[in-house]
Amino acid sequence: MKPVTLLTAGLLALSFSLYAQLDEWTPPAPPCRLPPAPFDGYLYVPPPVEPAQLAARQTATINVNFLPAGAARFGYTCADWPAEAETAMAYAASIWGSLLSTGSTITIDACWATGMAAGVLGSAGASNYYLLTDGVNTTWYPAALSELLLNNFSLLSVEIQAIFNSERTDWYFGTDGNLDFNEIDFATVALHELGHGLGFAGFEDIDDGSGAAECEGIVDEGCYGAKSGIWYPDIYSRQVEDNNGDPLTDISNPSLTVASLLTSGVGANGELFLGNASVLSGNGGNPARLYTPATYAPGSTYSHFDQSTFGSELMKPALNFGQAIHDPGLALNLLQGLGWPIGVTVLPVTWISFDAREKNDGVLLRWETGAEVNNAGFEIQRSKDAVHWVGIDFIPGRGEAAVYEYLDLSSYKGLNYYRLLQVDFDGRSDLSKTVSVYSHNRRGGSVGFFPNPVQEELAIAYVNFSEPTPFTITNLLGQETYRGVLSSPAEKVGLPPMPSGTYWLKVGQEAALPFVKL
């Protein structure tokens, strides 16, 4: 890399630091690209902010400049943007706009590119990088973050460059995550590529020893950062550590050791991690493993989470058909560690994990919290399509770090989605991530109800509803205490005066389910 040397800028004061601009580099092409991956089950992870609230929750201004037909970026000619693709792109930008907090305007040049390889969905990166110093460290920063740190919001007119494959016929342009097994979710690709442009990308290379020197021209050496007289790390690389917890920046650069780490393998073999404090807090106190396949893959290696470890994370190296991931997840933690102010409110619960697994007698949900403050508890919600949700139970919070388990005895047959609605004592609430699991439905559970125990009103959901369906409530002696008719798939039923105890709910010809009346 050969940055263009600029005149040193004066020091500009921010409330938290002093920075000076030393140099500038314009990438010849986006450093990261995203390929598709085979269908591996449906997955929908909704955005952290409810879609209906996105417009009102913008804490950063992110504008998309949809390049017209005939324009060019990185050697590709742009075509006209389809209206539905523009809508999905703007939706992705609004998700980032609801999470970052900055007074600057971030502008994206977006090209609906022709001639891209069939195996590439999109590619993006910062339009420029700036070499900044705070008097202690000298580091390359992406354009948008550089403007923020320098307090110079007119440094550039465009901060991110992105191209998307216009010739694919399998795009899903909806924003509801309701795609088919043979479709690629465009909003996820857009959200992913914008993450790279904001700073989820590192400079790295392995030298082939011939032609233009990737590092110093010595075959098989690896390097990180960019050269400006001497090698300086990028801000992403300053967050990286090896499997011993030693910072990557402590390792000789370039070197064979760097190359070995960049090709250490995937899954448990990978030896590079993101380990800043923000990532640790979002990953249960553990560093997050990076994608370092044994065969170096430019555009994928290093600048993504490990695929097998983080299959539901946005910033993995390939996007599976049938998956929609609209939550930046751990990528937001990484960006916070780079220096981005985060606009979302800190929740009273620190999440460590949440997963769902099929058992012989139902679906076992397990979640762990690292801390709880003002937490009333968790409403467990289930869905068949990740769009329409039904509450199935409420679990009180414990007020401290805890592990929770819940066995769902009435899961739907097939794919089930679960999420937790965390509720504060003051009535505010927020959603966990969404998890999915396939259930063989050994109990035949097509009926769900909530709450249990119940006092006055029972919410009943019947997934097989096709016409008005009778239901009955009987006591343990088999005596009918209530009879009604469901006129929709989900209804709330006011219960008549009934003694406290255990009862059975039977809907149509489905198996009866027990519940407790308080």
Query: Which helix (DSSP H) or strand (DSSP E) does residue 506 occupy?
Result: strand 501-507
> Among 20-34, 126-140, 334-348, which stretch is predicted with the lowest mean pLDDT?
334-348
Q: Helices 83-97 & 186-198, crossing angle to 10 degrees?
A: 50
Whole-angstrom distance, CA of residue 332 vs CA of residue 303: 14
Q: Is the pLDDT of residue 85 over 90?
A: yes
Residue 310 makes CB contacts below 8 A (sequence gap 6+) with 288, 289, 316, 330
Closest CA to 450 of 510, 508, 509, 378: 378
Closest CA to 393 of 381, 404, 405: 381
Q: Which residue has the higher pLDDT, 513 or 347?
A: 513
Tokens standing for residue 34: 């995203």
**Per-residue pLDDT at 441:** 64
**Per-residue pLDDT at 19:** 67
Residue bearing tokens 């523009």: 86
Tokens standing for residue 492: 């709330």
Percent of all residues in the chain with a pLDDT value above 70, rounded to a whole number: 93
In whole numbers, what is the pLDDT of the chain averaged over residues?
A: 87
CA distances from 157 to 20, 106, 306 (A): 20, 9, 34
CA distances from 154 to 22, 25, 102, 104, 247 (A): 17, 17, 14, 9, 34
Whole-angstrom distance, CA of residue 63 vs CA of residue 78: 18
* Segment 300-314 mean pLDDT: 94
Confidence class for position 15, pLDDT limits 50, 70, 90: very low
Percent of all residues in the chain with a pLDDT value above 90, rounded to a whole number: 50
Residue bearing tokens 């388990």: 405
**Per-residue pLDDT at 3:** 31
**Per-residue pLDDT at 347:** 54
Residue 187 makes CB contacts below 8 A (sequence gap 6+) with 88, 89, 91, 92, 173, 174, 175, 324, 326
Count the residues in the chain: 518
Q: Is the pLDDT of residue 415 over 80?
A: no
* Segment 160-175 mean pLDDT: 97
Asked if residues 137 and 238 have their Cβ atoms less than 8 Å apart, the reply is yes
Closest CA to 204 of 105, 292, 312: 292
Q: Which residue has the higher pLDDT, 461 or 279?
A: 279
Exposure string of 135-168, with b = 16+ CB inside 10 Å and e = fewer, is eeebbbbbbbbbbbbbebeebbebbbbbbbbbeb
Highest mean pLDDT: which range of 150-164, 385-399, 404-418: 150-164
Q: Which residue has the higher pLDDT, 511 or 441?
A: 511
Q: Is the pLDDT of residue 8 over 50?
A: no
The pairing of beta strand 414-424 with beta strand 429-431: antiparallel
Name the burial class of residue 409, with classes exposed (0-12), middle (13-18) and buried (19+) by CB atoms within 10 angstroms of its CB: middle
Q: Tens of pLDDT along 329-366?
A: 999 999 999 999 987 554 567 777 888 888 877 889 99
> Among 420-429, 434-443, 463-472, which stretch is predicted with the lowest mean pLDDT?
434-443
The string of DSSP codes covering 296-333 is: --TTTSSSSB-TTT-TTSTTSSSEETTEEE---THHHH
**Per-residue pLDDT at 105:** 92
Q: Which residue has the higher pLDDT, 233 or 211?
A: 233
Domain annotation for the chain: domains and CATH numbers = 4-338 (no CATH), 347-445 (2.60.40.10), 446-518 (2.60.40.3080)
* Segment 101-110 mean pLDDT: 91
> Among 270-274, 355-359, 512-516, which stretch is predicted with the lowest mean pLDDT?
512-516
pTM: 0.69
Q: Is the pLDDT of residue 508 over 70?
A: yes
